[in-house]
C-alpha cells in the first residue's frame, strides 16, 4: 500500500500543507508507505489545448507533468491538498488538474482503460480557506470529483477547513490537525471504501 500526498500550496508551511503532513503521518501510523510531494518543486505548466491527447491519450507538453503523473498512478491512495483561491483550487493545483485532459481523452474519447484500471485506488482532498462560508468548497468538490473520475479513483474523503488564512494559522486549530491525522489513518487502512464521500467541514 502506497499513499502519495501532493501539496499544491505556493507557501512554505502553508495551512493545507501542514494538514497534509498530519494526514500522511496518520497514514504512516497504520503501516503503509507514504510519500510527500511539494508541487512548488516541479515545473508543471498549463494545458495549451493542442488536443494532441485526443489522438494519443498522452500529453504532448514535456515538463515535470510526466514525472508527477507516474507518481500519481503508482499510488494506491492519493491525498491532494490545496488552499482556496477565489472559491476554487490554487493555480498550481489547477495546472496539474488541467493537464489531466489526457486522462479524460484516454478514457472517454479513445475508450481505453485508465492508467489505474482494475485497482482499488482512492483519493482524499484537503482544502483550507479564509472565508466563513461553506460555498468556498463547492467548486473544489466538483473539480476534484471530475479529476478523480478521469483517474478512476474513488473519491473517498474531504477535509475542508474555513476561517483559516494567515500562514501557519492552522496550528491554532489542534482539532483540525487531529482530524487530518485520524482521517489519514482511516483513509489508508484496509477497510472497504465508503459508500459515499466522507465530508468533514470545520468552519
Model confidence band, residue 101 (pLDDT cutoffs 50, 70, 90): very high
Rounded to an integer, what distance in angstroms lies between the CA atom of residue 116 and that of residue 73? 6
In this model, does residue 190 exceed pLDDT 90? no
What is the dihedral sign for C-alpha 39, 22, 103, 198?
negative
Which of 34-38, 59-63, 180-184, 190-194 has the least mean pLDDT? 190-194
Rounded to an integer, what distance in angstroms lies between the CA atom of residue 198 and that of residue 119? 20
Q: What does the pLDDT read at residue 95?
A: 98
- Write the CB contacts of 62 (distance below 8 Å, at least 6 apart in sequence): none
What average pLDDT score do residues 176-200 get?
94
What average pLDDT score do residues 7-18 get?
96
Q: What does the pLDDT read at residue 46?
A: 97
Q: What does the pLDDT read at residue 59?
A: 98
Q: What is the pLDDT of residues 112-124, one digit of tens each?
A: 999 999 999 999 9
Higher local confidence (pLDDT), 12 or 60: 60
Three-state DSSP class for residue 111: coil
Which of 23-27, 56-60, 128-132, 186-190 has the least mean pLDDT? 186-190
Domain segments of the chain: what residues? 2-202
- Write the CB contacts of 53 (distance below 8 Å, at least 6 apart in sequence): 59, 60, 101, 102, 105, 106
What average pLDDT score do residues 140-164 get?
97
Rounded to an integer, what distance in angstroms lies between the CA atom of residue 156 and that of residue 123? 6
* Check whether domain 2-202 has CATH 3.30.420.40, yes or no: no
Rounded to an integer, what distance in angstroms lies between the CA atom of residue 141 and that of residue 52? 28
Q: Does the predicted model carry a pTM greater than 0.85?
A: yes
CA distances from 98 to 48, 91, 144, 146 (A): 9, 10, 11, 11
What average pLDDT score do residues 17-32 get?
98
Q: What is the pLDDT of residues 42-51, one digit of tens each?
A: 999 999 999 9
Q: What is the pLDDT of residues 80-99, one digit of tens each?
A: 999 999 999 999 999 999 99
Amino acid at each position: 500500500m502506497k499513499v502519495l500526498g501532493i501539496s499544491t500550496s505556493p507557501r512554505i508551511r502553508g495551512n493545507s500543507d501542514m494538514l497534509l503532513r498530519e494526514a500522511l503521518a496518520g497514514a504512516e501510523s497504520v503501516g503503509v508507505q507514504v510519500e510527500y510531494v511539494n508541487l512548488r518543486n516541479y515545473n508543471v505548466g498549463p494545458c495549451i489545448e493542442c488536443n494532441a491527447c485526443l489522438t494519443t491519450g498522452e500529453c504532448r507538453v514535456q515538463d515535470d507533468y510526466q514525472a508527477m503523473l507516474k507518481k500519481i498512478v503508482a499510488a494506491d491512495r492519493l491525498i491532494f491538498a490545496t488552499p482556496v483561491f477565489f472559491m476554487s483550487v490554487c493555480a498550481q493545483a489547477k495546472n496539474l488538474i488541467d493537464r489531466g485532459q489526457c486522462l479524460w481523452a484516454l478514457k472517454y474519447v479513445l475508450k481505453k482503460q485508465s492508467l489505474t484500471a482494475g485497482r482499488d485506488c482512492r483519493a482524499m482532498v484537503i482544502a483550507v480557506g479564509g472565508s466563513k462560508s461553506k460555498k468556498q468548497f463547492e467548486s473544489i468538490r466538483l473539480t476534484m470529483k471530475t479529476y478523480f473520475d478521469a483517474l478512476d479513483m474513488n473519491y473517498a474523503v474531504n477535509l475542508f477547513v474555513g476561517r483559516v488564512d494567515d500562514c501557519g494559522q492552522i496550528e491554532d486549530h489542534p482539532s483540525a490537525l487531529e482530524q487530518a491525522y485520524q482521517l489519514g489513518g482511516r483513509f489508508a487502512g484496509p477497510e472497504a471504501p465508503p459508500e459515499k464521500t466522507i465530508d468533514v467541514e470545520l468552519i
